[in-house]
Structure 1
Amino acid sequence: MHSTPIWDPDQYLKHAGHRTRPFLDLLAHIPELPSGSGGPARIADLGCGPGNVTTLLTGRWPAARITGFDNSPEMLDRARDQYAGPTPGGGTLDFQAADATHWAPAEPYDLIVSNAALQWMPGHPDSFATWTGALAPGGTFAFQVPSNFTAPSHTLLAALCDSERWRDRLADRTRPAGNVLEPADYFARLTALGCETDIWETTYLQLLTGEDAVLDWVRGTALRPVLTALDDDEKAREEFTVQYRDLLHEAYPPGPGGTVFPFRRIFAIARRPH
């Protein structure tokens, strides 16, 4: 049995449009990067996943040296196969194995960005001082995290994992809501580090299609720890999935155009003063 989730890039990318939209909104708010060194911008993407979002950075900063970091071999293989190498604007894009829990920059960065990854990292705000301290003057730390842990998709999953049938195998396999702070708490943490800080939140009303639309969505993210824990027991995986699917159908009834799936996200931009 694996202790960490096994990620499926194909499943994750089935909803690439919805998953990419928050990053585009974050990217639009990132200020211009410092150019005091005269060289190309240095950018890190923490929790880069399959690299489809990391490569969007090359559109904004074509000559940048960009490195995506992730601890999933499956995601890194996909990212390297699809995107690693020189970029059309004269920059470079590469991907390296690293766990954000322990990642400390080995060089100054103009931008450290993270898209829907820090929620998997307990205590991630404790790393803010290290990350912002590694920014060049005028550099930016930017991230967005989901904050939908009180939504039925997550509360039903947690309750099912903690039920008598599954408790012994799955009670510790759901993502704790406490990993993600409220916007005001992020604001307090980042301003205390001397950063010019902008925090906001958005709830996207995502229209998902298909018979098991919400189940298909969570198969790529929140359900991964459960599927990984049951990867050696196909019968149990199927039983759990059917039970969870039926609960989701009740909580998110499909409409004529699909299933509406509200999704709250928190955004943060923290700029180190010049």
Structure 2
Amino acid sequence: MRFHDTNVRQQAVVRLRAGAKNADVARTLDVPLGTIGYWRHMDRAKRGECPGRHAPRCPRCDGCELDEAAYSYLLALYLGDGHIIQYSGHRVPSLMITCDDNWPGLMDDCETSMQTVFPDNSVCRVRKQGCHNVKVYSKHLWCMFPQHGPGKKHERPIVLEEWQQGIVDDHPWEFIRGLVHSDGCRITNWTTRTVGGERKRYEYPRYFFTNTSTDILRLYTDALDRAGVAWKHTHQSRAAKTVSVARKASVALMDQHIGPKY
């Protein structure tokens, strides 16, 4: 390997700053063209003049604009079906939201919200058996999702920071919608009644949300309260708890803002 002293490098940088072409500088100083290109790049990077995309910005670190409605929805998806991971050897962590292939519309909404919250980053879909992971890499995931931590979500406290709670309070329906899309559903129940001596079948819709984290359940019911939705816990023997919305007026309100998965 051929080494070049500091004086030669400085001569090259001076010529490059003056507008000389890489090939001319390489020929004049008898230095490989690739080395000249590297010196030029390092000099421009040092002065902040590198071409191309700027480093992705962060609403928390840089104060750039955040689409709060999209974030409220994405936060709920993260609490339900998302996780943040940083593989060994990777400098940047990734956020992955697992979406069932049965709900392509939900997957589209997830990707749209992720791209809206992280406009400077690329979003992709990774195919898995029966599902896709909607994925984004960002150094600022820890800033945007401080609930990340070791272990499963239901085994550790899940508490929103003040700025997050303010967003959820301002956009409760987006938050409710994200949680229902993750761990909830809209179903149709039925019953029979005898009317005028004739047995008739009646159907009525209701919403269920099931989770094993008491903190996430509380965040869901708090948002329902803020949106004016009546709810109740259902009795179950397993560890997971279910919140039911069954009153006609509340179901109509949920249908207006959420509706079934699609």
**Would you say same fold, with TM above 0.5?**
no
Higher normalized helix content (fraction of residues): 2
- Relative contact order: is structure 1 or structure 2 higher (C-alpha 8 Å, sep ≥ 6)? 1
* TM-score between both structures, scaled by the size of structure 1: 0.27
